Amino acid sequence: MPQARVLVSSRGPLHTEAPHFLQGSAAAVSRERIPVVVVFDHEALARLVASRLATLIRARSAAGRSLVLGLATGSTPIGVYRELIRLHRDEGLSFRHVTTFNLDEYWPMPPDRIHSYHRFMWENFFSQVDIDPANVHLLDGTLPREQIDDACRAYEDAIVAAGGIDFQLLGIGKTGHIGFNEPGSGELSRTRLIHLDHVTRRDAAADFFGEENVPREAITMGIATILAAREIAILATGEHKSKVVLRAVEGEIDRDVAATFLQRHPATTFYVDESAAADLSRIATPWLLDDVAWTDALELRAVTWLASRTGKAILKLTQQDYSDHQLSSLVARHGSPGAVNGLVFNVLGAKIRGKSKLPRGKRVICFSPHPDDDVISMGGILRKFVENENAITVAYMTSGNIAVFDHDVRRYMDFLVRLDQERIGDGTAVRSLAETVHAFLEAKQPGEVDIGEVQVIKRVIRESEAVSGIEVLGLNREHARFLNLPFYQTGKVRKDPIGAPDVAIVANLLRELQPEIVFVAGDLSDPHGTHRMCKEAIDAALLEVYGHGATTNRSAAAPEVWLYRGAWQEWPVTEATVLVPLSQEELTLKIQAIFKHQSQKDSAPFPGQDEREFWQRVEQRNKATSAHLDRLGLAEYFAMEAYVIA
């Protein structure tokens, strides 16, 4: 078992834990005004924070005292709660001496609604541990407006009466909000009703099946309430959080970014995964902070950064350019700017693989988390693999049925009824189904889980679109497998954890098809976590079948794993292993395949923060990748896709 190490931050040692984190020297983290622990992945992060909480709980229990926790909701803290539940179940961690105060709640919001934080906490944590319900404090989203101020003061009084919050768990929003302390929140603010920022409401739109359904107000602990906690842990995972993490950690304190106030707290720690830490100076540009141990990967990043910073092609970088940007040691290592330039130029050039350099005659599985990720992310390489006579199976891992608008269901039902009126079929079943569906949709509340009939219709819509999409690329319905993994079948945006049945389905497909190459979604910024969870299922299945995961060394019979990214981001050219050029005709074909997903066209149910349609993101992203290479001085292509071979 690996020896434990000390977690290092800009303010010194925090505590010990198994080495699932990245460290930096004191100089390398000198710009960080909040201690930051960078953990390899979200699961390790959850274990680390839960371990800290378990230590505090046990210490207080042994002393016969209660521990007071401030708790947050959301996709990042839920991993911590699941680990705490495991510790309770498997290791006897008791919550009998724990008192909790939740951070916030939408208003108005009945406690039994699917979006209620009251319901979230009981379903995902409280009901599965031995906490005394009398020790659970939740903000009330049902109060009349005129009673809210008094209730907020009473909440503050209850925190004081409990002895104050010992440990506050936080997430961070894209505006930098903590709790619902939106831009403009003051450092002296206390628990109160607040109007939600447009960005926050838009970010929550996926959960509510439309921004118009997101409440405009919420009740939240204030900045001063949060800062009064004795210890604070703030969590962030995913590429989409990297910019706000940088702003919160390295930026000036600013009322427009509430998380920056944590810089004044004496015992706050930021726990982030590698993706969320990507923009921190010690990771993005460590050579600007301290001496570095040069590696091939770091040299590649530094030289491409320098070329972009100076606006020059790589082969035109001079000694002066390197000297002006703290990179003289890199030139000294190789002897001359020309040697460095040539090395990096050749490394980037070797990544480019046209059709003739791509695999031929291989057994291939493309794992697509949703029924459109295949064409959105890798429509270009799929077409080239078809032309290279590879045996391709596209495995759609989830139905994607929650991402179908109700009006599409009405349209398809109207189509069936009209067919019935033309006397195609006996009609009885069609009319009965139509009546059931229309009655439900008429009475449906925003975010309400669909009845089984509607879920099936939406699934079939997505499946038919998926087949139509791959047909554009030269495949047909025989090349499509619809796995319909159980974890997704909640009818809600929030899914169940990946379980043994999910892994078994993927493992059985691997055993049946014996692929030589598998494509896996490595885009972990998917706004509702499906990509991350699907990768988790694939990793577990690879481990079961071949004795390895998607990020470890392959055995002789194991498939090569190619990671792609989806609609949200592309691999940087410095991280990519393979860059696949696309002609104008190939990009047009890819976009035509995306168009076949009509339920996601014009206005997708889960667009994230990007107003562009998926095809527009793809076009601009693929063109931007090739344009970046062009600016670096490499060959000019119309468009380009990027992949990482794990």
Q: What is the set of active-site residues?
A: 182
In angstroms, rounded to a whole number, what is the distance separating the alpha carbons of residues 194 and 215? 11
What is the side-by-side strand order in the sheet with 231-236?
Answer: 21-22, 36-39, 268-273, 231-236, 167-171, 67-71, 98-102, 136-137
Assigned token pair, 91: 């290791």
Query: Residues with Cβ < 8 Å from 251, sequence gap 6 or more?
Result: 257, 260
Q: SS3 for 104-165, per residue?
A: EEEECCCCCCCCCHHHHHHHHCHHHCCCCHHHEECCCCCCCHHHHHHHHHHHHHHHHHCCCC
In angstroms, rounded to a whole number, what is the distance separating the alpha carbons of residues 269 and 54? 17
Residue 82's closest CA among 47, 40, 55, 36? 47
Buried b (16+ CB within 10 A) or exposed e, 406-425: bebbeebbeebbeebeeeee
Q: What are the beta bridge partners of residue 325?
A: none
Dump the DSSP string for 36-97. EEEESSHHHHHHHHHHHHHHHHHHHHHTT--EEEEE--STTHHHHHHHHHHHHHHH----TT
Contact 630, 311 (CB under 8 A): no
Assigned token pair, 284: 């993005």
In angstroms, rounded to a whole number, what is the distance separating the alpha carbons of residues 564 and 645? 9
The span from the first CA to the last CA of the chain, in angstroms, equals 24
